[in-house]
Chain A
Amino acid sequence: MALFPLTSNFEGDFVLQLLAVDSENTMDEVAAAAAVHSVGRRVRARPGQLMRVRRQGSEDFLPRSMRVSESGLKPTETIEIIWEAPKH
């Protein structure tokens, strides 16, 4: 349990933002924390869609239940939070 700073790059928003999470947060929790600073402020919510986390430059999302401490992310590294439509 430790405070862990990341840099949030939220899909549709215009700026990178400092994001304080906990090293034991899951990627779903990280995405929700990032959304606090973008969704409803400058980005419209997309009901029914998931918010997924990936490293900048990667096409692959990190597993939703993966913890920050297991992800290999470095402090202040930039993550992208991407909307994902539900799979049918």
Chain B
Amino acid sequence: MAVLNRMDWYDLARTTNWTPKYVTEDELFPPLMSGAFGLPQNAWEKYDEPYKQTYPEYVKVQRDKDAGAYSVKAALERSRIFENADPGWKSVMKAHYGAIARGEYAAASAEARMMRFSKAPGMRNMSTLGCLDEVRHGQMQLYFPHEHVSKDRQMDWAFKAYDTNEWGMIAARHFFDDIMMTRDAISVSIMLTFSFETGFTNMQFLGLAADAAEAGDHTFANLISSIQTDESRHAQIGGPALKVLIENGQKAEAQKRVDIAVWGAWKLFSVLTGPIMDYYTPLEHRKQSFKEFMEEWIVAQFERALTDMGLDLPWYWDIFLKDIAQTHHGMHMGSYFWRPTVWWNPAAGVTPDERAWLEEKYPGWNETWGECWDVIIDNVVDGNMAMTYPETLPYVCNMCQLPILGTPGKGWNVKDYPLEYNGRLYHFGSEVDRWCFEQEPERYAGHLSIVDRFLAGMIQPMNLGGALNYMNIAPGECGDDAHNYAWAEVYRAMRAAKKAS
């Protein structure tokens, strides 16, 4: 029997809107869940997804993708890549899996909201496939690290991280709860798929795949490339929704959602991806600096995506362009200095050669970040280890939940952006974080940051032990220097040579 070409029947087959007779349109599509923006059902029927795929096609392609990724894993299982990998690279994997795997699973629920509640039939179809994608990503990114759990307890955080009150996970949950778990279907399409996935997962998945291949970890490289091919499809769910909103006079609301989500995504990537690219990845395997990668993938490509869509660049774009050369250095120093509170072992990444690279990529690094590292290095070389650890908490932002930081040393520009709201003093890491909060204060006002929880007496005893217990970090899981401070030997030798001369 002859089969019709897909395009001969696709549009008709997915035109599944009907006129409800026994319930009202609002009962069928509750505005709170659908996010109709006051537009009738027929306005959403103009939604035209750029990537059309049918279920049988999807299953066939996904089966091939799974076969590829799983067979690479099976073939390399005995290769001892994990055992022989640079400890910095292991930290990359641990940070990635913990921060991402269960979030992918949660994203399936966000996709399911679009699948059920969107008034746009095309969106419902794309998100059906998107939902299956996210289930797949969750499963793979839990299954792949599992083989390493017996070798390294920190690998268990691929599964465990999301259930903990570890500070980075509070930040990740706060962001994902905001953009995908507690928003209507249309807002999810704008904030999760267009802003976060189009804008940022390229960073994590393409950049990291390149670094993984360079580091010889072909299993990981294949896994995340395989995931990225799904992302690049379902990330396109938001674009046509933005088009419908703009055509129907809703540009301001659409723009606001993009601006909030892009900023939150940026902050999360500054702590997750920035340190990985510029400090953890062994020097010889680095392809580009984090800033160069950001400029290529975000500044050049995402700017175009925004303007092609008829949107403006976020109002804070100049602040963002400045921050991509700064913020992640602070996030790295913070996660290194507070290393017992993370589930991976941060690599310091500050040997003389690495510093020369940092100075070349970020002129002025030595007289800013370098000045703080000089003190840390001296303490390590002197064996004064107590001074390389903190005795208090960093103050964290009430929006992004990450430490409030800036550039130290000669470029000192650290600043708090406070706001008093309903008698409570909130602290923010930037003008933009504070602006995000101000767009809908009641949405965020009740949340307690890790510092707020500490001050409220929720963390007992009020010391590092109590904090680790609160964050569910068991003995053997605490982060420590990835290379067990071996990198300091070169400084020891330099000091000895100086003394001898």
Contacts and interface: CB of A to CB of B under 8 A. Distances in A.
Interface of A: 5, 7, 9, 11-20, 36-37, 40-44, 56, 74-78
A45 to B, nearest CB: 9
A57 B404 CA distance: 16
B418 A41 contact: no
Contacts of B379: 40-41
Interface in B328-343: 330, 333-334, 337
B390 A37 contact: yes
Interface string B351-369: 0000000000000000001
B269 interface: no
A19 B405 contact: no
Contacts of B375: 40-44
A77 B426 CA distance: 9
Contacts of B372: 12-14, 42-43
Given A15-B403, A16-B404, A9 B392 contact: no
A77 B427 CA distance: 9
A78 B408 contact: no
Contacts of A20: 392
Given A37-B391, A44-B371, A76-B427, 17 more contacts: A12-B408, A12-B412, A13-B408, A15-B334, A15-B395, A16-B404, A17-B392, A18-B395, A19-B392, A37-B392, A40-B379, A40-B387, A41-B388, A41-B390, A42-B337, A42-B375, A74-B425
A32 to B, nearest CB: 14
Interface string B254-272: 0000000000000000000
Nearest to A82: B412
What is the size category of the interface that chain B forms with chain A? 35 or more
A16 B408 CA distance: 11
Given A7-B416, A14-B369, A37-B392, A77 B330 contact: no
Interface in B411-446: 412, 414-416, 418, 425, 427
- The 9 A-B residue pairs with the shortest CB-CB distance, nearest first, are A14-B408, A16-B395, A78-B416, A42-B372, A15-B405, A16-B404, A18-B393, A15-B394, A7-B395
Given A12-B408, A77-B418, A7 B427 contact: yes
B37 interface: no
A36 B405 contact: no
B427 to A, nearest CB: 7
Contacts of A12: 371-372, 408-409, 412
Contacts of A42: 333, 337, 372, 375-376, 408
Contacts of A74: 425
B16 to A, nearest CB: 52
Which residue among A14, A17, A18, A77 has the maximum number of chain B CB atoms within 10 Å of its CB? A14
A79 B256 CA distance: 33
A77 B418 CA distance: 8
Interface of B: 330, 333-334, 337, 369, 371-372, 374-376, 379, 387-388, 390-395, 403-409, 412, 414-416, 418, 425, 427, 451, 454-455
A41 B408 CA distance: 13
B425 A14 contact: no
Dominant SS among interface residues on chain A: loop
A75 B403 CA distance: 18
B267 to A, nearest CB: 14
B450 to A, nearest CB: 10
Nearest to B329: A14
Contacts of A9: 414-416
Contacts of A44: 371, 374-375
A56 B330 contact: no
A16 B414 contact: yes
A41 B451 CA distance: 21
Contacts of B408: 12-14, 42-43
B425 A16 contact: no
B403 A16 contact: yes
B394 A41 contact: no
A38 to B, nearest CB: 9
A56 B415 contact: yes
Nearest to B393: A18
Contacts of A15: 330, 333-334, 394-395, 403-405, 414
A38 B427 CA distance: 20
Contact of B418 (A19, A37, A75, A78): A78
B404 to A, nearest CB: 4
Contacts of B330: 14-15
Contacts of A37: 390-392
B34 to A, nearest CB: 40
A56 B418 CA distance: 10
24 contacts: A7-B395, A14-B330, A14-B372, A14-B408, A14-B414, A15-B404, A16-B404, A16-B416, A17-B390, A17-B392, A18-B394, A18-B455, A20-B392, A37-B391, A40-B375, A40-B387, A41-B388, A42-B333, A42-B372, A43-B408, A44-B374, A76-B425, A77-B418, A78-B416
Contacts of A77: 418, 425
A12 B391 CA distance: 18
A7 B428 CA distance: 12
B166 to A, nearest CB: 18
Nearest to A37: B392
Contacts of B369: 14
